[in-house]
Amino acid sequence: MQDVLKAFGLENTSGNWPVYSPVDGSQIGAVAMHTSNDVLAMVESAKRAFVAWREVPAPVRGEFVRLLGEELRLCKSDLGRLVTLECGKILQEGLGEVQEMIDICDFAVGLSRQLYGMTMPSERAGHHMREVWHPLGVVGVITAFNFPVAVWAWNAALALVCGDSVVWKPSEKTPLTALACSKIFERTVVKFRAKGHVVPDGLMQVIVGGRDAGEALCAHHDVALVSATGSTRMGKAVATTVAARLGRSLLELGGNNAMIVTPQADIEMAVRAILFGAVGTAGQRCTSLRRLIVHKNVAEKLMGSLVKAYEAIRIGNPFDASTLVGPLIDKAAFEAMQKALADAVKQGGCVLTGGGRVDVGAGGYYVRPAIVEMSAQTEVVSTETFAPILYVLTYERLHEAIALQNDVPQGLSSCIFTTDMREAEQFTSITGSDCGIANVNIGPSGAEIGGAFGGEKETGGGRESGSDSWKAYMRRQTQTVNYSNALPLAQGIVFEV
């Protein structure tokens, strides 16, 4: 384990905040927590950095992000392993997360030569109207433990090509991966400067802190955008604080993602997708599959194969290549799972498999993923529990299944398994899924970075990563230039002396 920390010079960290690995519960380091005053100083320096960085031409900023992507390629294996060590996801997923960082860097590099504005015809002769996108300012990024590095990269890669500076508050459960990213960033700065380019100090800073530090970041009037990923409860607090000063927020919050399996589905494919979606990352993705809405005619067949597949899942050390499910992040996550299971039973549910703690011969909270049959979409089913619990409901008519799928407070990701194009089109139509993401014959998790990522309702409405999400990191200016000798007014208004 130590060698992974050594790769980033983090083998001898010290401070008042201990850091534990969920793999075996051992302490792997300690960090010094920043105070709210530290946050104020960081925002000040980020503001100075922004003022310099915004003047660097966007394609040159893109060159910086290209080098960042190169650095990430060089340390993909080390960083992937550190992610596994600190947040417990299996190594394949740890590496996948770093790949997601590399992908967004590539995307942002291309974007740095685009950032397109529009021109539009003016109603006035000799006038030119256009829309220009300018850098926005300091971007505050708040991330969760479950994607400790990729979500930072989605935000940072875009913010940097857009000409912004970044102050990042990672989860206090995963500060070491954040410090590793900061080292990777510094290596990039050295290489970029060696090429003769200017990078202002303070362009990207990491706050190691708790709730008070996050609050100080959100409340600061010099933070133009707060991009926050985490629970709906956290998002509501962030949104309120940022809105109180009329700042901008981009929220990517809880999901309660469903899959509809119709009688026309390829059942074998559905089973594989359910496994990855519901037990992958030990059910700790915001896109994890939490609800299965299956047609009553195929329920028995599907559930038979699924329970069998669940019972064969290898649970254990996330570094072992054969493991599919690693540990939960901590004891609190385990307790939340047990509480949800008890509530589900009280609300009429029947646990078909799993739910208990698994002894893998090390510390850590390892669990057997659970499937719970429900007769109704009760309160516990409508709540996001960050653990591998899959609730199963049945339906008879597709519109009922879609209504069930939409009848939760969250609106992140959704999917349907069917080979019938009518069903697939109905699901993705205006009257279909109300989520930000709607997939056909693909599970709800594992989105590519090219699409806009995020969801509706209590998921917060923000969009990150691909498509035109970059616009959130810039300010739009409408410009009208009069190159004539006259001064005609819009709407034909006459205003003569």
Q: Which residues are catalytic?
A: 252, 286
Which of 40, 75, 10 lies closest to 207, judged by CA? Answer: 40
The CA distance from 367 to 383, in Å, is: 20
- Chain residues 150-169 in contact with ligand UN1, contact rule CB under 6 A: 151
Annotate each residue in 237-276 with x if it binds ligand UN1 (CB under 6 A) or - if it does not, as one string: ----------------------------------------
Q: Does 145 bind ligand UN1 (CB under 6 A)?
A: no
Q: Does 147 bind ligand UN1 (CB under 6 A)?
A: yes
30 touches 17 (CB < 8 A): yes
Which residues are CB-contacts of 159 (< 8 A; sequence separation ≥ 6)? Answer: 139, 141, 165, 166, 473
* Of the candidate residues 180, 447, 452, 472, the single one contacting ligand UN1 (CB under 6 A): 447
Q: Does 445 bind ligand UN1 (CB under 6 A)?
A: yes
* Of the candidate residues 148, 209, 446, 460, the single one contacting ligand UN1 (CB under 6 A): 446
**Listed ranges 183-191, 285-293, 383-391, 394-402: which one lies at the site for ligand UN1 (CB under 6 A):** 285-293
The CA distance from 2 to 464, in Å, is: 34
Annotate each residue in 94-113 with x if it binds ligand UN1 (CB under 6 A) or - if it does not, as one string: ------x-------------
Cross-strand pairs, 464: 453
496 touches 137 (CB < 8 A): no
CB of 447 to ligand UN1, least distance (A): 3
Four-CA torsion 87, 159, 288, 218, nearest 10 degrees = 80
The CA distance from 274 to 389, in Å, is: 12
The CA distance from 444 to 412, in Å, is: 9
CB of 320 to ligand UN1, least distance (A): 22
Q: Does 365 bind ligand UN1 (CB under 6 A)?
A: no
The CA distance from 403 to 304, in Å, is: 26
* Of the candidate residues 84, 155, 182, 287, the single one contacting ligand UN1 (CB under 6 A): 287
Q: Give CA separation, 388 vs 316, 343, 437, in Å.
A: 14, 15, 21
Q: Does 286 bind ligand UN1 (CB under 6 A)?
A: yes
**Listed ranges 27-35, 83-91, 375-383, 444-452: which one lies at the site for ligand UN1 (CB under 6 A):** 444-452
316 touches 344 (CB < 8 A): no
Q: Does 229 bind ligand UN1 (CB under 6 A)?
A: yes
The count of C-alpha atoms lying within 13 angstroms of the C-alpha of 371, restricted to the half-sphere facing its C-beta, is 22
Count of residues in contact with ligand UN1, rule CB under 6 A: 11
CB of 144 to ligand UN1, least distance (A): 6
Which residues contribute to the site for ligand UN1 (CB under 6 A)? 100, 146-147, 151, 229, 285-287, 445-447
